[in-house]
Chains A and B, each alone.
Chain A
């Protein structure tokens, strides 16, 4: 197998006359690494996965997966990949174990081999308690877990995970993260799509940011953050009630592509701090003058969220 497990050259896809899902996408994923396709709904993530997993033909451009051309060697590509879609692709009437055995058989395992492999995966994925219940009774997290297990029945060289944690509770999401991280050690190349920036940050070696069918940026999470460049000053008031007041007071720190950002989850306000400690001091003086009690104030590198917003808004003007 070549060094790049996935290579795309200028992939384009239009549906009908009007909508262009992809407008020339090129990237490569090194073997045994995890790459995240990051983007909003409609950015072209699923279309890219569908082309690479031979479900959809590109309008133009070419791609290879595990060294095979997706258009001309589709059968060899199919033999090398595992796919999980946005929705669990299981037979609801069958039990988890039966699904695992079925897909083992469909991938060419003999009956006994399929049974042994199902047992192994059930143990490894910690599903013994539910393996003999029908999939229709499973929770979202269980379903996703067995869905990924099914894609691994015959260990693929390339695994596609389309939004593997969409709709999962935080705990199940962390489970899936653990699973993906463990795949790297088994020489499996993973291409996953996600809208969760945090997820791309945690899981992947490289990130491709898609926006309106084009690549807005690519690189490691750190590289992307660096590309946005500036540091941020983050202010956390003791009482979240003061968030809007703080945002207003600091509004003039905001630049054109980086607004003062209220992060409701962290109950904090972030503003760009291009001058580092100088900005920090100014922010502190101003808030001190207002008499707002602060729980925390810090300088930090931009989060991937901020990098993402900045990169995609830049791409619009290109």
Chain B
């Protein structure tokens, strides 16, 4: 337990210095301002204000950014002398992974608070009541956990620090840009429609939007929960397996 705390504190003090925690705050704030100021008057979101519409996507994107830095960190822990030394210490082999995930969770909470905070100023509201608010937070954090586990598995598997986060850049862009997070499905060409509608980023952002507004369909919640749980299970297994690989 103390090893977990020590490693998490190590990551925290490191990322305070390499500015990753600052980026955790700036990314959602910057993205939200960028989307709102640039696209707010261009995209028709019906009765919903654009801040109310776009914040869920900003949060999801911040979680994806977090995953990219996790891939870096996992690759570094795998390859660096530091990581090798960790494997010669009398600590359980899963502790470094657990510490990276704990850091992801902390980073996700910070990003969630920062993004929601700035959107609040522009009129975003959580209007669904306490139960919906709790679900809102749970979904954001479990999505963050899921993508971080996947990125961790990738970073641990890949032999280079430089390429692991680069590899994640493309899927991240595709999932965010081709989703209903920035603009409604009607704005996309018809042939893209099935992908745009049912991919996880669209589903999760739509559910978050519903939870914030207090209107949620059972089916939507079920699909989002299924996405989150499936990703958690699959990526979780992968990440654990990567840690077990010994030569």
Check A55 against B87 for contact (C-beta < 8 Å). Answer: yes
Contacts of B217 in A (CB 8 A): none
Check B7 against A106 for contact (C-beta < 8 Å). Answer: yes
Q: Is the interface of A mostly helix, strand, loop or mixed?
A: loop
Given that A93-B14, A108-B2 are contacting pairs, would A85 and B81 also be in contact in the complex, using a CB cutoff of 8 Å?
Answer: yes
Residues of A in contact (CB 8 Å), total 31
Check A89 against B89 for contact (C-beta < 8 Å). Answer: no
Of chain A, the residue at the smallest CB distance from B246 is A57
Check B14 against A105 for contact (C-beta < 8 Å). Answer: no
Check B85 against A78 for contact (C-beta < 8 Å). Answer: no
Check B89 against A106 for contact (C-beta < 8 Å). Answer: yes
Check A75 against B90 for contact (C-beta < 8 Å). Answer: yes
A191 within 8 A of B: no
Q: Provide the B54-94 mask, 1 if CB < 8 A to any CB of A, else 0.
A: 00000000000000000000000000111011111111000
Closest Cβ of chain A to B247, distance in Å, is 5
Given that A105-B6, A106-B3 are contacting pairs, would A93 and B89 also be in contact in the complex, using a CB cutoff of 8 Å?
Answer: no
Contacts of B85 in A (CB 8 A): 83-85, 89, 103, 150
Closest Cβ of chain A to B98, distance in Å, is 13
Given that A78-B90, A83-B88, A93-B14 are contacting pairs, would A56 and B81 also be in contact in the complex, using a CB cutoff of 8 Å?
Answer: no
Of chain B, the residue at the smallest CB distance from A83 is B88
Q: Provide the A62-103 mask, 1 if CB < 8 A to any CB of B, else 0.
A: 000000000000010011010111111111011000100011
B10 within 8 A of A: yes
A107 within 8 A of B: yes
Chain A residues 98 to 137 lying within 8 A of chain B, measured CB to CB, are 98, 102-103, 105-108, 110, 134
User: B interface, how many residues as a size bin?
Assistant: 20 to 34
B17 within 8 A of A: yes
B13 within 8 A of A: yes
Closest Cβ of chain A to B236, distance in Å, is 24
Cα A161 to Cα B70 in complex, Å, equals 31
Contacts of A54 in B (CB 8 A): 87-88
Choice from B9, B13, B17, B82 contacting A89 with Cβ under 8 Å: B82
Of chain A, the residue at the smallest CB distance from B2 is A105
Cα A161 to Cα B130 in complex, Å, equals 57
Closest Cβ of chain A to B50, distance in Å, is 39
Check B14 against A78 for contact (C-beta < 8 Å). Answer: no
A53 within 8 A of B: yes
Cα A87 to Cα B81 in complex, Å, equals 6
Cα A150 to Cα B3 in complex, Å, equals 15
Given that A57-B247, A108-B90 are contacting pairs, would A90 and B81 also be in contact in the complex, using a CB cutoff of 8 Å?
Answer: yes
Q: Provide the B19-63 mask, 1 if CB < 8 A to any CB of A, else 0.
A: 000000000000000000000000000000000000000000000
**B residues within 8 Å of A by Cβ?**
2-3, 5-7, 9-10, 13-15, 17-18, 80-82, 84-91, 246-247
User: Given A56-B247, A105-B5, 17 more contacts at CB 8 Å?
Assistant: A56-B246, A57-B247, A81-B88, A83-B85, A89-B81, A90-B81, A90-B82, A93-B17, A93-B18, A94-B10, A94-B14, A102-B6, A105-B2, A105-B6, A106-B3, A107-B89, A110-B2
Q: Can you give 10 contacting A-B residue pairs, CB < 8 Å?
A: A15-B247, A56-B247, A78-B88, A78-B89, A83-B88, A89-B80, A94-B10, A94-B14, A102-B6, A106-B3
